[in-house]
Structure 1
Amino acid sequence: MKNESQAMGHRQVMESLSGLLLALFVALVSSTVVSTALPRIIGSLNGTQTQYTWVVTATLLAATATTPIWGKLADLFNKKTLVQVAIVIFVIGSLLSGFAQDTGQLIAARAFQGLGVGGLQALVQVVIAAIIPPRERGRYNGYLGGVLAVATVGGPLLGGLIVDVSWLGWRWCFWIAVPLAAIAFVVLQATLKLETVRRENVKIDYLGAALIAAGVSVLLIWVSFVGNSFAWASWETATMVGAGVVLLGAAIAVERRVKEPVVPLHIVVQRTPALAIIASLAVGVAMFGGSVFLGQYFQIGRGYSPTEAGLLTIPLLAGVLVSSTISGRMISRSGKIKPYIVAGTILLVLGFLGLGFIDHATPLWEIGVAMAVVGTGVGMSMQNLVLAVQNGVPLSELGVASATITFFRSLGGTIGVSVLGAVLANRVTADLSTALHVPAGQSTGTTSALNLQALPPQVQTIVHTVYGDATAHIFMISAAVGVIGIIAALLLKPITLRTTMDLEKKDADSVVAR
């Protein structure tokens, strides 16, 4: 069996990638297939805008919290087995989501599904890094970009078609991933060949991971309800913010003392990983936080069907596919990565600035151009930030380093969806109250504003206008956050990707010494 520290040939790499990319495709589709269907799903369950946000946030939060654990496990145990375990967890979560009877059950099931998603998004990166040298990895990033593009284009279209076909129904948005995951499991078993790593006296930092997850969760819950259920200056705010800060402080203390931390501080404090983490946080906030509401904008704000909403997001995804493929091949030729990260973060901000001026009547071609620019920026920056970190760590720490950067990017996305969702919910609630002449804080009725079919025609028109105009605010916030990513990218040292699987001994010793 091929040793993980030895580089594979192109044919072996492609065979191994087939199962990995299929597993990644399944994880991505699980999110994108819901994006255009979610307004219909929440509407049929009579949910609120806050619950809409938490259906997405629950998955992201669970994935974020478990990503470092999966990464640490990948440094200690057989990576192939771990990927398959993540697939099984994902399948169970998908089945439970499809059987949900109310929004509370759906949010809980999506959180469980997120445990598997966290494993897949971390482990696929780790395995790819274990079989392909950094310099060569750029050319294979095009395949990753292709999978991302197909999943993100096909997912919304598939989700739209499912909810538009009456004899299927929205539950199949979750169940459709089950057969795909089963195929990925079988293909992985047949194609991925990695040696089993067995180490004695292994200790996983469950306490640190639990403290991080708890601290982040408390703060995100606070963000979701502050300004609506209770005031910014209130005992609830003081309690929740104080608890979140204490939990995260305790997590840092634990990470400094344990032998094998789930988030290794000696990696995080180095210049390149630290800046890559900051940039990934910003990109995650902007990308996940902004794009997750595009499907809602097209349906609730513009009145398009789920299928049409999926088609309208194609410019965003085309930008990701084209830019990741081209930049990946250019990086493999030159070995230089910083210029592409800087350009990507700049384009991301410019694209969101464009989306920050839309309303319920903006021409679709203008929105399409802005989305294409955002997608181009994501394709040039997101994956290359992971590569920048992987390039500077020894093979023995590859899993935890990859998981750490993925963790912070996912954390940024979780924060983005939660914060921007809360901003949108508060804005929509206030604007609907004004438009419908209902006092602020008083219910506008028993029917959810997202359940358009159940609303009178004149109220539907008001809801379209309010959502169409309010969404621009969250895109403008995404652009502002993205500026932080530009600054971090500019401060990165010039990086030349290595051509070896592991660091040279002197470089590895230098990393350990730091």
Structure 2
Amino acid sequence: MATTTQAGVRAHAKHARGSTASPGSTDSAGSPGDVQMTHRQIMEALSGLLLGMFVAILSSTIVSNALPEIIGDLGGGQSAYTWVVTATLLSMTAATPLWGKLSDLYSKKALVQIALVIYVLGSAAAGLSQNPGMLIACRVVQGIGVGGLSALAQIVMAAMISPRERGRYSGYLGATFAVATVGGPLLGGVITDTSWLGWRWCFYVGVPFAVIALIVLQKTLHLPVVKRDVKVDWAGAFFISAAVSLLLVWVTFAGDKYDWLSWQTYSMVAGSIVLALVFVLVESRASEPIIPLRLFRNRTITLSSIASMFVGVAMFSGTVFFAQYFQLARDESPTMSGVLTIPMIAGLFISSTLSGQLITRTGKWKAWLVSGGVLVTAGLGLLGTVRYDTEYWKTAVFMALLGLGIGMMMQNLVLSTQNQVDPNDLGSASSTVTFFRSLGGAMGVSALGAVMADRITGYAEDGIAGLGPKYASLASGSSSTGEIPDMDKLPAPLRTVMESAYGHGIADVFLIAAGMALLAFLITLFIKEVPLRAGGVPARAAQTPAPAAVEAPAGEKVPSWAVPAEAAVEGAADGLSVRGFVRDDESEPVPRAAVTLISPQGRQLGRSVAQADGSYAMDAPGTGSYVLIAVADGFQPHASTVVVDGKPVPYDIVLSGTGGLNVLVRAAETGVPVADATVVVTDAHGDLLATGTTGEQGGFAFPGPAPGAVTVAVNAAGYLPRALPVQVGGTGVTRIEVGLDAGARVQGVVRAPHGPLADARVTLVDAAGKVAGTATTGADGAYGFTGLDGGEYTVIATGYPQVATALTLSGPGTDDHDIELAHPGE
């Protein structure tokens, strides 16, 4: 809602005049020129914040190259290595939503300082660790602090800077992230390789920087503090933490301590689901939920959160497993391990800074998200091909692609979300996206670490067995104990085998992460781009528009974008008026909407028609309570109460669509309803509006589409797909029936001289050379393809020497086509 931001401006103006703001009281702001923040003032305010972020990231990345030596020194194995990383991500994931909610309720400046202190204390304690368990516990404390810093950095920036300008400053944040990320491993490598320092100093070196950051934050960061009754959702924090923790314990030990399909798996997964459902129940009833469930009604927020989860897998897998690859597979020192990752960090630095600048100039951000998804997927996919002896220049190019993609996606997913929420929900929305990114990272590192350990063990055992009986006895000692080997103590042949095993195993992890990145890319395609605003954040309709009291520190500057519209109109602040914007569920303006002010007795007192940008304004006859009604074609009427108490009332309205679209899918020949058919509805621009499957009676319902032209596409197994244009009316339900034609079918049996052939691969290629389908035969040798167009096809079967035969399909019906495979001479 816009009321908090506007109240903040009024309270600041009053404070600047020497008055004392009291709860419930607000005054009109002065002219915008009195409150504008310059670029220099914004940079001064951000300096301490960026320094704090630098310390947090430095303290995190400085140990990445030292971890192999740290775990070896403390006597831990691959599981401990994974959990040292996962513990931080876990606590960071669980704490992020809580920090975000606290920032909506308390001083953001104080919370940043508290998070920084927690992080530094955890880091200092980690330097005193005597065993892997103690180190993991200290990393949990570190994660609580970094969760706060990660979420609060975005929130503080959003509180000071408009969405349109925020891309520019997000670039500075990305640059800070890049410098700390590249400097951390280098510094950590040097410290680890320096005999008179040792790896423990990796945890101590950030303390002086943290003290400086605290001092700078105290002097430069000044933000309004919202004063209202608060209630922190501690129950929600507990259940989300418990659900995530149990899930991570499962993926870490599955395949090692117990089978993937076992009673432990069933118990832990079921427990996580139950805890997650309890969390949803708690959030739906909490007055101040950690993650407001209503945020997910917005498609952009939902899709950005899911995409962030998969981006987290890609981002953290790159930073965590590169150290092991370079040190264990390529025999590099910790220092050189940091140097060799510079291409990835350089790519991240360049893309985050450049994309931020260009987004500020154009207001467009989706192209960067989509491009980033392509680059991340390509980078990880190519990294999946590396081995221990791959030429470094190839690995460097692959890492650079990964860094470029992460830089384009990481900040902009948060930016796209912040662009569509109320100021009151800014902290919760920002931390929600960060939460899902951390969740993906935690689950990814945990699961991929378990997969990597299993793959490395398998590759090592196979390689050692190939060396002959002389080295067979070393298999259990070097490959299956789970401990990270000391390569310098291994015989040359065995060392080569272990390096090859680590190179191949880590590459497999990158290949799996590429699949996750591909999902993130596909999700970003469906995120609807809403141009970044140069003005205030759009507000949802408030049922109680009375603002909260806000106090601002003396001398504080409030950004010009947060100044309410009435402050810029001469004399408007002295009259009694109701003004705001009319928008739809996707934050798009609703022009020509009729807004009427009604007295409690039902008499019309004022009327306004929304302009092209959705804005409206009307005068109120005096103080009191009134009814505001908004009506527009294609939307449900909206009615709410507004209270005029002697000053202009900012009030934004959100209209929901009316009517609906009902689709009935039948078989064209028989008229029988087609169940489980996939229905996709897109608008005139090709953006996805709805998708789902038909029920047992062939029906699919889409409530509330906006009036206009849409395209309905239907696809079902055994039928030819069909798409048709539909004109959705302004009122009522639009009903259509879609008839699907049955496609041609091909089925048969692949036989060898000894009988039906299992696991044979059959490929169907059409006349244009495109693959129409692939199938693998079962134990009976059978295969089949359905839903085909008539025409010429080629059937290719492999398993024995390849056999290709031509086939002509005349139309609906089933064609039998058996295939005989044999070796020459059989």
Q: Give the TM-score normalised by the residue count of structure 1.
A: 0.95
CA contact (8 A) 1:289 1:414 kept: no
Amino acid across the alignment from 1:126: I
Residue 531 of structure 2 aligns with which residue?
496
Q: CA deviation at 1:442?
A: 5.3
TM superposition shift of 1:503: 2.0
Separation in 1 of the partners of 2:173 and 2:653? 31
Structure 2 counterpart of 1:108: 137
- Confirm or deny that 1:357 pairs with 2:392: no
Counterpart code for 1:63: M
Contact 1:134–1:391 (8 Å) recurs in 2: yes
The answer to whether the 8 Å contact 2:456/2:501 transfers is yes
Alignment of 1:29-108 (within 5 A): 29-108=58-137
Cα distance in 1 between the residues matched to 2:220 and 2:529: 36
The within-5 A match list for 1:106-145 is 106-145=135-174
- Post-superposition shift, 1:446? 7.4
SS at match of 1:296: helix
User: How big is each residue's C-alpha offset from its partner over 1:407-450, in whole Å with a ceiling of 9 and x where there is no partner?
Assistant: 11111111111111111011112223333456999554879334
Q: Does 1:393 find its partner at 2:393?
A: no
**Distance of 2:225 and 2:484 partners within structure 1:** 53
Query: What does residue 405 of structure 2 align with?
Result: 377
> For 1:311 and 1:187, how far apart are their aligned partners in 2?
31
User: Does residue 479 of structure 2 align to residue 451 of structure 1?
Assistant: no
Question: For 2:184 and 2:36, how far apart are their aligned partners in 1?
Answer: 33
1: CA distance, partners of 2:490 / 2:111: 47
Alignment of 1:36-435 (within 5 A): 36-200=65-229, 202-435=230-463
Structure 2 unmatched runs, 5+: 1-5, 10-34, 466-471, 540-579, 584-650, 658-826
Distance, in Å, in 2 between the alignment partners of 1:469 and 1:254 is: 45
How big is the shift at 1:241?
1.4
1:471 is matched with 506
Render the CA deviation track for 1:209-265: whole Å, top value 9, x for unaligned: 111111111111111111111112222112211111111111111111211111111
> Is the partner of 2:173 in helix, strand or coil?
helix
Conservation of the 8 A alpha-carbon contact between 2:456 and 2:504:
no
Distance 2:340 2:39 in 1: 36
Q: 1:513 to 1:241 in 2, by over 3 A?
A: same
Q: Is the radius of gyration larger for structure 1 or structure 2?
A: 2
**CA separation of 1:98 and 1:194: change in aligned 2, threshold 3 A:** same
- Equivalent AA in structure 1 for residue 50 of structure 2: L
What SS does structure 1 have at the residue aligned with 2:135? helix
Partner of 2:43: 14
The answer (yes or no) to whether the contact 1:60–1:410 under 8 Å persists in 2 is yes
Asked if structure 1 preserves the Cα contact closer than 8 Å seen for 2:68 and 2:484, the reply is no
Q: Is the Cα–Cα contact under 8 Å of residues 7 and 133 in structure 1 kept in the other structure?
A: no
Counterpart amino acid of residue 322 in structure 1 = I
Larger mean Cα displacement after TM superposition, 384-393 or 277-286: 277-286
Equivalent AA in structure 2 for residue 39 of structure 1: P
Q: CA 1:292/1:138 → structure 2, altered by over 3 Å: closer, same or farther?
A: same
Structure 1 residue ranges without an equivalent (≥5) = none
Q: CA–CA distance in 2 between the matches of 1:236 and 1:432?
A: 28
Task: Report the CA distance shift for 1:439/1:388 in structure 2 as closer, same or farther (over 3 A).
Answer: farther
SS in 1 for 2:226: coil
- Identify the range of structure 1 (434-443 vs 395-404) with the bigger mean alpha-carbon deviation: 434-443
Q: CA deviation at 1:178?
A: 1.4
Maintained 8 Å contact 1:8/1:132: no
Deviation track 1:96-138 (CA, whole Å, cap 9, x = no partner) reads 1000001111011001111111111111111011000000011
How far apart, CA to CA, are the structure 2 residues paired with 1:441 and 1:226? 22
| 2:455 alignment partner AA | R
User: Is the partner of 1:303 in helix, strand or coil?
Assistant: coil
Secondary structure of 2:62's aligned partner: helix
Post-superposition shift, 1:12?
1.1
User: 1:513, 1:94 → 2: CA distance?
Assistant: 49
Name the SS of the counterpart of 1:197 in structure 2: strand
- Deviation, structure 1 residue 181: 1.1
Cα distance in 2 between the residues matched to 1:46 and 1:4: 55
CA shift for structure 1 position 37: 0.9
What is the rounded CA distance, in whole Å, between the counterparts of 2:91 and 2:339 in structure 1? 29
Greater strand percent: which structure?
2
Amino acid paired to 1:19: G
Shift of 1:509: 4.0
CA RMSD, 1 decimal: 2.1
Aligned partners of 1:134 and 1:497 also within 8 Å: yes
Moved more, 39-48 or 435-444: 435-444
The 1:223–1:152 alpha-carbon spacing in structure 2 relative to 1, beyond 3 Å, is same
Conserved? CA contact 1:290–1:417, under 8 Å: no
Q: What is the rounded CA distance, in whole Å, between the counterparts of 1:376 and 1:4 in structure 2?
A: 38
Cα distance in 2 for residues equivalent to 1:244 and 1:294: 31
> Counterpart of 2:192 in 1: which secondary structure?
helix
TM-aligned CA distance change 1:456 to 1:4, over 3 Å: farther
Q: Secondary structure at the match of 2:225?
A: coil
CA distance in 2, matches of 1:29, 1:49: 23
Corresponding letter in the other structure for 1:149: A
Shift of 1:460: 3.1
Write the deviation string for residues 431-481 of structure 1: whole angstroms up to 9, x where unpaired: 233334569995548793343345455443332121011111111111111
Name the structure, 1 or 2, with higher relative contact order (CA <8 Å, separation 6+): 1
- Give the C-alpha shift of residue 89 in structure 1: 0.6
2:457–2:501 Cα contact (<8 Å) kept: no
Contact 2:464-2:475 at 8 Å conserved across structures: no
| Residue equivalent to 1:486 | 521
Query: Does the Cα contact within 8 Å between 1:430 and 1:440 map onto a contact in 2?
Result: no
Shifted more, 12-21 versus 176-185: the winner is: 176-185
Decide whether aligned partners of structure 1 residues 255 and 446 sit closer, same or farther in structure 2, where only a CA change above 3 A counts: closer
* 1:262 maps to amino acid: I
Distance in 2, matches of 1:50 and 1:7, equals: 53
Q: Which amino acid aligns with 1:115?
A: I
More helix by proportion, 1 or 2? 1
Distance, in Å, in 2 between the alignment partners of 1:342 and 1:446 is 43
User: 1:239 & 1:186 partners in 2: Cα distance?
Assistant: 49
Per-residue deviation at 1:7?
A: 5.8
SS of 2:407's equivalent in the other structure is: helix
Residues of 2 paired with 1:267 and 1:11: CA distance? 34
- Contact (CA 8 Å) 2:460, 2:475: kept in 1 or not? no
